[in-house]
């Protein structure tokens, strides 16, 4: 079922959010409260921007709660923008290439949810990708193909538009195959500058998704944390599931909408409307 989180703001030791936060994403790997299952133990991934060209990615098939390398990496890498994901496999193998985030150049992509009937739609979805991207598919998840489609449909220049066209295509293919409730998703995307997030389901309530209110809210969330005392208005968290139960700190992103978090701290929200091809 998966859970993910994104940080954009001042450079932060990654462990501050992965391990030193009440009910952070690593805790959610074993004790998710809002997910379909409490356990997200089928691997995890971390993608971060910082030193070196493009994002670094660390993915493992170990459950996030028990991986000593993740703990060490998080304690020794600082980043102004990172995405973390814990996975609950629903059918596809537990392998690194099926772990999120997926990467292409400067771009990272995470997905919580699934393409219904993916086994029936997979071939048509992969055919709709640019042939060159087809050749680079390494794993067997729906999410990697969704990312390949989004790149095919212009993700690098029109992020939300590309995702609308991707979802529209998947829904059209699903209709052709008689598959209902095609898309269930929250998506996270970044190029190292901005962080985009989408909450959408073809039918029913989409996966949960929240944004932190503003720097003051985050500070209230971690009153004893000296680092967070330094928070500015440019800092923002987007998460599948709130890190704590403090009321008034998290803003739920409504179904069928998308947000863009920018480096200056602005958070733009707009409707997310799939576009049939």
Give percent helix, percent strand, percent coil of the chain, each to the nearest 5: 30, 30, 45
Question: Is the separation of the CB atoms in 103 and 96 below 8 Å?
Answer: no
Instruction: Establish if 58 lies at the interface with its own copies (CB under 8 A).
Output: yes
| 194 in catalytic set | no
Q: What is the CB neighbour count within 10 angstroms for residue 36?
A: 15
Q: Does 119 bind its own copies (CB under 8 A)?
A: yes
Find the part of the chain contacting its own copies (CB under 8 A) among 19-27, 43-51, 184-192, 262-270: 43-51
104 near its own copies, rule: CB under 8 A: no
The answer to whether residues 188 and 6 touch, using CB atoms and an 8 Å cutoff, is yes
By CB under 8 A, tell whether 39 contacts its own copies. Answer: yes
DSSP 58-127: EEESS-GGG-HHHHHHHHH-EEEEEEEEE---SSS---GGGSSPEEETTEEEEEEEEETTHHHHHHHHHH
- Based on CB atoms, which residue is closest to its own copies, 103 or 262? 103
- Using CB under 8 A as the binding rule, whether residue 226 contacts its own copies is answered as no
Residue 48 near its own copies by CB under 8 A: yes
Asked if 34 interacts with its own copies (CB under 8 A), we say no
Closer residue to its own copies (CB): 33 or 76 = 76
Q: Is 16 in the site for its own copies (CB under 8 A)?
A: no
C-beta atoms surrounding 230 within 10 Å: 12
Contact 100, 109 (CB under 8 A): yes
Element at 3 (helix H, strand E): strand 3-13
Which residue in the set 19, 20, 23, 30 belongs to the binding site for its own copies (CB under 8 A)? 30
Q: How many CA atoms lie within 13 A of 157 on its CB side?
A: 3
The 63-102 site mask, x for binding its own copies (CB under 8 A), equals x-xx-xx--xx-xxxx----------x--xxxxxx-----
Contact 182, 117 (CB under 8 A): yes
User: According to the binding rule CB under 8 A, does residue 248 interact with its own copies?
Assistant: no
Looking at 8, 35, 42, 85, which residue binds its own copies (CB under 8 A)? 42
The active-site residue, picked from 1, 2, 86, 150, is 2
Pick the binder of its own copies from 20, 23, 106, 122 (CB under 8 A).
122
Distances (CA, A) of 259 to 5, 73, 112, 254: 14, 29, 16, 10
Contact 106, 83 (CB under 8 A): no
Q: Which stretch binds its own copies (CB under 8 A): 131-139, 160-168, 192-200, 230-238?
A: 131-139
SS3 42: coil
Interface with its own copies by CB under 8 A: which residues? 13, 15, 30, 38-39, 41-42, 48, 50-53, 55-63, 65-66, 68-69, 72-73, 75-78, 89, 92-97, 119-120, 122-123, 126-127, 131, 134-140
Catalytically active residues are: 2
């Amino acid at each position: 079922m998966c859970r993910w989180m994104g940080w954009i703001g001042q450079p932060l030791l990654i462990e501050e959010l992965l391990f030193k936060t009440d009910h952070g994403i690593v805790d959610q790997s074993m004790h998710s409260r809002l997910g379909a299952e409490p356990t997200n133990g089928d691997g995890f991934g971390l993608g971060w921007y910082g030193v070196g060209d493009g994002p670094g990615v660390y993915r493992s098939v170990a459950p996030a709660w028990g991986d000593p390398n993740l703990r060490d990496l998080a304690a020794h890498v600082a980043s102004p923008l990172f995405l973390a994901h814990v996975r609950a496999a629903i059918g596809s193998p537990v392998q690194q290439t099926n772990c999120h985030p997926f990467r292409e150049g400067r771009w990272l992509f995470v997905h919580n949810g699934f393409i219904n009937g993916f086994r029936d739609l997979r071939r048509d979805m992969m055919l709709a990708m640019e042939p060159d991207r087809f050749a680079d598919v390494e794993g067997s998840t729906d999410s990697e193909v969704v990312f390949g489609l989004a790149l095919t449909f212009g993700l690098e220049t029109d992020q939300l538009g590309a995702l609308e066209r991707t979802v529209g295509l998947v829904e059209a293919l699903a209709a052709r195959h008689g598959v209902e409730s095609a898309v269930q998703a929250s998506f996270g995307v970044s190029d190292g500058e901005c962080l985009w997030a989408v909450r959408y389901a073809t039918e029913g309530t989409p996966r949960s998704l929240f944004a932190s209110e503003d720097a003051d809210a985050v500070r209230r969330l971690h009153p004893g944390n000296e680092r967070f005392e330094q928070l500015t208005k440019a800092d923002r968290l987007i998460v599948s599931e709130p890190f704590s139960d403090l009321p008034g700190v998290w803003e739920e992103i409504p179904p069928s909408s998308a947000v863009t978090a920018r480096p200056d701290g602005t958070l733009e929200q707009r409707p997310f409307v799939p576009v049939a091809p």
